[in-house]
């Protein structure tokens, strides 16, 4: 990957009506990278994107585009194009004219426009849709038009604001693959905003996890998943059991009343820490052979695996296993040293990672609704 910083945000802060939305954001994005801003609704990810696009001005801090400060450059002069949430296709223009819009504004000759629009429509698999009115297209097709309309201008950076949020699951998966492929084919830097952690993990080169107007962690998908920096990141990305623990010494962590070997070091002796154990990293063994022992309180069939909730000394663990365990049976858990990840205490300690109140509906509720998100950003606009 090239090391040129194409976008550089320095000490960006932003409030709406006295309500801080971004608190001292520092972030640079390398050329040709696929970067995802990931976080729950209201975390500031869309505002960050809009600052890069020029639709919002930061209260403090600077935005650089290839080392040039662009705080005061209006959107129409930035070499950046946006795929808007819910697309914002022009209803008075057909597919061809929507895609050609940017080129017409730039006064590109007609024959060039025609060639480029055709190429771009082919790129997003919309050959033959030129004359269609945008209102007759399905959500997925409108999505492609929106992408084509942005890509045809050959921007340095493409900003995508929850572009797949309105699509159904199957279509979303297909579009994820297509977007990834488009990114590779075009070599354009993609900055992608989503609240869907799976989407972020499967598409990005780099993920920026945000919460409460701050960047929580920047890293590759594997880094973010395997080495979460704090309880928020561990909880937001995938499922995790997050336990209150103590780092007795390097490579020795104590939690759930038991001392474990681990691979983490560099903490103070007896420093209180948060310990993450991913549900899929726990092995189930007979009760007498386990490092921990507990009672199964819930079993859910998930297709690929069973998801079981185990009560260990009052803390409910989630474990994903391919072996069925009967409810109310007593089982043992075995945890390898490399399955344990130790994190510094943070403001998010103790807020996540216990499955005692866990239920499917509850999980559904916490997934941000795109409409809801919409309202939030609109509220932010005012």
Give the interface with another protein as residue ranges (CB under 8 A): 53-55, 74-76, 80-82, 84-86, 88-92, 101-102, 104-106, 133, 135, 149-150, 153, 378, 381-382
| Nearer Cβ to another protein (91/187) | 91
Least separation in angstroms between residue 331's CB and another protein is 53
Q: How far apart are CA 184 and CA 33, in angstroms?
A: 10
Residues written for the chain:
382
| Nearer Cβ to another protein (76/301) | 76
| Nearer Cβ to another protein (133/367) | 133
Least separation in angstroms between residue 101's CB and another protein is 5
HEC sequence for the chain: CCCCEEEEEEEEEEEECCEEEEEEEEEEEECCCEEEEECCCCCCHHHHHHHHHCCCCCCEEEEEECCEECCCCCHHHCCEEEEECCECCCCCCEHHHHHHHHHHHCCCCHHHHHHHHHHHHHHCCCCCCCCCEHHHCCHHHHHHHHHHHHHCCCCCEEEEECCCCCCCHHHHHHHHHHHHHHHHHHCCEEEEEECCHHHHHHHCCEEEEEECCEEEEEECHHHHHHCCCCHHHHHHCCCCEEEEEEEEECCEEEECCEEEECCCCCCCCCEEEEEEECHHHEEEECHHHCCEEEEEEEEEECCCCEEEEEEECCEEEEEEECCCCCCCCEEEEEECHHHEEEEECCCCCCCCCCCCCCCHHHHHHHCCCHHHHHHHHHHHHC
Least separation in angstroms between residue 145's CB and another protein is 12
Residue bearing tokens 């403090």: 60
Residue bearing tokens 């995802």: 36
| Nearer Cβ to another protein (55/334) | 55
| Nearer Cβ to another protein (105/367) | 105
| Nearer Cβ to another protein (323/381) | 381
Least separation in angstroms between residue 159's CB and another protein is 9
| Nearer Cβ to another protein (74/314) | 74
Output the six-digit token pair for 10: 């320095």
| Nearer Cβ to another protein (298/370) | 370
Least separation in angstroms between residue 37's CB and another protein is 18
Least separation in angstroms between residue 374's CB and another protein is 10
Least separation in angstroms between residue 279's CB and another protein is 40
Least separation in angstroms between residue 73's CB and another protein is 12
Least separation in angstroms between residue 84's CB and another protein is 5
Residues 6+ positions from 146 with CB-CB distance below 8 Å: 83, 84, 87, 88, 89, 163
| Nearer Cβ to another protein (132/214) | 132
């Amino acid at each position: 990957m090239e090391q040129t910083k194409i976008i550089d945000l320095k000490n960006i802060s932003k409030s709406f009506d006295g309500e801080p939305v971004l608190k001292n954001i520092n972030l640079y994005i390398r050329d040709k990278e696929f970067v995802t801003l990931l976080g729950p609704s209201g975390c500031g990810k869309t505002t960050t994107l809009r600052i890069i696009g020029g639709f919002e001005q930061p209260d403090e801090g600077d935005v650089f585009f290839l080392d040039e400060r662009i705080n005061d450059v209006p959107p129409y002069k930035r070499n950046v194009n946006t795929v808007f949430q819910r697309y914002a296709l022009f209803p008075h223009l057909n597919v061809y004219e929507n895609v050609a819009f940017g080129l017409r504004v730039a006064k590109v000759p007609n024959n060039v426009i025609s060639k480029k629009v055709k190429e771009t429509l082919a790129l997003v698999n919309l050959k033959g849709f030129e004359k269609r009115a945008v209102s007759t297209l399905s959500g997925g097709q409108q999505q492609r038009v929106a992408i084509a309309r942005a890509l045809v201008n050959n921007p340095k950076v493409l900003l995508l604001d929850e572009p797949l949020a309105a699509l159904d699951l199957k279509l979303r998966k297909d579009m994820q693959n297509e977007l990834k492929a488009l990114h590779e084919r075009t070599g354009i830097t993609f900055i992608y905003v989503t609240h869907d952690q799976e989407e972020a993990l499967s598409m990005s080169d780099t993920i920026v996890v945000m919460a409460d107007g701050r960047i929580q962690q920047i890293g590759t998908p594997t880094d973010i998943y395997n080495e979460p920096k704090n309880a928020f990141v561990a909880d937001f990305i995938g499922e995790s059991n997050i336990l209150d623990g103590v780092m007795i010494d390097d490579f020795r962590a104590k939690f759930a009343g038991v001392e474990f070997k681990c691979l983490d070091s560099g903490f103070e002796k007896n420093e209180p820490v948060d310990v993450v154990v991913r549900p899929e990293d726990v092995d189930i063994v007979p009760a007498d052979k386990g490092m921990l022992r507990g009672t199964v309180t819930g079993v859910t069939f998930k297709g690929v695996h069973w998801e079981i909730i185990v009560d260990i000394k009052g803390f409910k663990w989630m474990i994903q296993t391919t072996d069925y365990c009967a409810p109310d049976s007593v089982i043992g858990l075995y945890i390898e040293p490399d399955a344990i990840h130790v994190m510094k205490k943070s403001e998010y300690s103790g807020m996540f990672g216990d499955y005692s109140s866990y239920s499917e509906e509850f999980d559904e509720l916490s997934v941000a609704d795109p409409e809801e998100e919409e309202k939030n950003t609109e509220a932010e606009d005012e």
